Structure 1
């Protein structure tokens, strides 16, 4: 029985790493394809420019008010 255990270990390591690399490459490819298909059939709705600025400012004001109220509540308790 003349087998070199180091070479056997390197072979198994190469096969294992190759299988993991192949799996991850296929996974990345499939996720990219899925993303393209989803964006093609379900595009993001873009808000109109005139209304989006005011709604964005309103959202920012609500966020600032919520943060301010949370800080005030925390300091009081």
Structure 2
């Protein structure tokens, strides 16, 4: 009785890869269905955000610039 180990290993490889492929395919369909169900019964609320445009206040900008300059100078003083 001769057993061809190469042929057996190829069969097991295709069986394993087939099972993984089938599982991932089923998982994709289930997740898409779950997403469709969730968006149907729990729709996302349309939030109107009161986003203000970038700050045009020069005093705030100058304070930020001063803080960055102070941090850089402090870092330089710590080095040497």
Q: Name the TM-score class by shorter chain.
A: 0.5 to 0.7
Report which of the two structures shows the higher radius of gyration computed on alpha carbons: 2
- Matched positions, count: 65
Q: Report how far residue 74 of structure 1 moved.
A: 5.4
Instruction: Kindly provide the CA deviation profile for residues 47-71 of structure 1, in whole angstroms up to 9, marking residues without a partner as x.
Output: 35xxx4xx23x2x637xx8xx68x8
Q: Structure 2: state its 5+ residue gaps.
A: 76-80
Give the alignment's TM-score, normalised by structure 2.
Answer: 0.64
Instruction: Give the superposed CA RMSD.
Output: 2.8
| Higher-RCO chain (CA-CA 8 Å, sequence separation at least 6) | 2
Compute the TM-score of the two structures, normalised by the length of structure 1.
Answer: 0.66
**Which runs of structure 2 are paired with 1:30-69 in the superposition (5 Å)?**
30-48=30-48, 52=49, 55-56=50-51, 58=52, 61=54
Higher helix share: 1
